[in-house]
């Protein structure tokens, strides 16, 4: 079974600074997808960034980028120039197509002014 | 752009009652997923459907059932409700042939069992 581990229950960062959220996963498969979802106080699940396991290049979406280390089964999220609106729960998720998605326990990020 | 629609957004039920949650996927999405997120928990996969057939099953209690209809909307039926069923229930949809298999989440239905 696939498992996803987020070892940082809570983190905080000053506005405009950079923060990295950690995620590790366990699988024996070679073809899978990884995602970071953001859940603000509204509880809406919002996709932040995605990474296909077969791609070596790290995904980037504006201020969000990942450090994907396939051999180490690590998938960290870096948020640059943090903004107050980035305050949310962040869930790392693993999916092996076409099955269900497994989420980590989440990291609560607080951006301080 | 159209998003996943869930109804109702909020639902309050008594113990042992029955509840039905509805999900309307994004147009042309043929796969639907249901998740349960308890207070302070991560979303837990319940069940998924592709082309009206159950495609995968997670930690869905036997008291719950679900189906997908010909217009691809899905309903989650919950019977003999228990206090522990109080949670946020998400529906997500995706087009089956998508390379990324990205799931688009609805706003959720908050179920409170008293």
**B42 → closest Cβ in A33, A42, A103:** A103
What is the token pair recorded at A5? 């581990």
B42-65 per-position pLDDT tens digit:
899 899 998 888 888 888 999 999
B64-86 per-position pLDDT tens digit:
999 999 999 999 999 999 999 99
SS3 content of chain B, % helix, strand, coil (to 5): 5, 50, 45
Tokens 């996927």 belong to B25
Contacts of residue B37, Cβ cutoff 8 Å, sequence gap at least 6: A43, B43, B44, B87, B88, B89, B90, B108
**B45 → closest Cβ in A45, A47, A101:** A101
Quote the distance between the C-alpha of residue B7 and its chain's center. Answer: 10
For residue B56, list its beta bridge partners.
Answer: B48
- Give the per-residue pLDDT at A101: 81
Rounded to the nearest angstrom, the minimum Cα separation between A41 and chain B is 12
Hey, is the C-beta of A106 within 8 angstroms of any chain B C-beta? yes
Work out the pLDDT band at B100, boundaries 50, 70, 90. Answer: low
Please list every residue in chain A whose beta carbon sits closer than 8 Å to the beta carbon of residue B44. Answer: 103
- Give the per-residue pLDDT at A31: 83
Q: Choosing among A101, A102, A104, which should be mutated to test the B contact, i.e. which has the most B CBs within 10 A?
A: A101
A42-78 per-position pLDDT tens digit:
888 899 999 988 888 999 999 999 999 999 999 999 9
- Give the per-residue pLDDT at B50: 87
Q: Do B43 and A103 touch (CB under 8 A)?
A: yes
Work out the pLDDT band at B111, boundaries 50, 70, 90. Answer: very high
Q: What is the DSSP letter of A44?
A: -
What CA–CA distance (Å, rounded) separates B30 from B50? 6
Rounded to the nearest angstrom, the minimum Cα separation between B48 and chain A is 7
Rounded to the nearest angstrom, the minimum Cα separation between A91 and chain B is 8
What CA–CA distance (Å, rounded) separates B10 from B1? 24
Residue A31, classed as helix, strand or coil, is coil
A76-106 per-position pLDDT tens digit:
999 999 999 999 999 999 987 666 688 999 9
A9-43 per-position pLDDT tens digit:
999 999 999 999 999 999 888 888 899 999 998 88
- Give the per-residue pLDDT at B101: 65
């Amino acid at each position: 079974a696939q498992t996803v581990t987020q070892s940082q229950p809570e983190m905080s960062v000053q506005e405009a600074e950079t923060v990295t959220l950690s995620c590790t996963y366990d699988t024996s498969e070679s073809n899978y997808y990884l995602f970071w979802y953001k859940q603000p106080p509204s509880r809406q699940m919002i996709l932040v960034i995605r990474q296909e396991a077969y791609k070596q290049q790290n995904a980037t979406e504006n201020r969000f980028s990942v450090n994907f280390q396939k051999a180490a089964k690590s998938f960290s999220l870096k948020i640059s120039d943090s903004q107050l609106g980035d305050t949310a729960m962040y869930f790392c998720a693993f999916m092996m197509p076409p099955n269900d998605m497994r989420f980590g326990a989440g990291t609560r990020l607080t951006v301080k002014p | 752009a159209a998003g996943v629609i869930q109804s109702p957004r909020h639902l309050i039920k008594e113990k042992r009652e029955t509840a039905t949650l509805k999900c309307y996927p994004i147009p042309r999405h043929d796969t639907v997923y249901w998740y349960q997120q308890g207070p302070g928990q991560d979303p837990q996969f319940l069940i998924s459907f592709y082309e009206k057939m159950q495609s995968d099953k997670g930690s869905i209690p036997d008291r719950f059932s679900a189906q997908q209809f010909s217009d691809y909307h899905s309903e989650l039926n919950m019977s003999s409700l228990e206090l522990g069923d109080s949670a946020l229930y998400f529906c997500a949809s995706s087009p089956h042939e998508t390379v990324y298999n990205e799931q688009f989440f609805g706003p959720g239905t908050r179920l409170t069992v008293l």
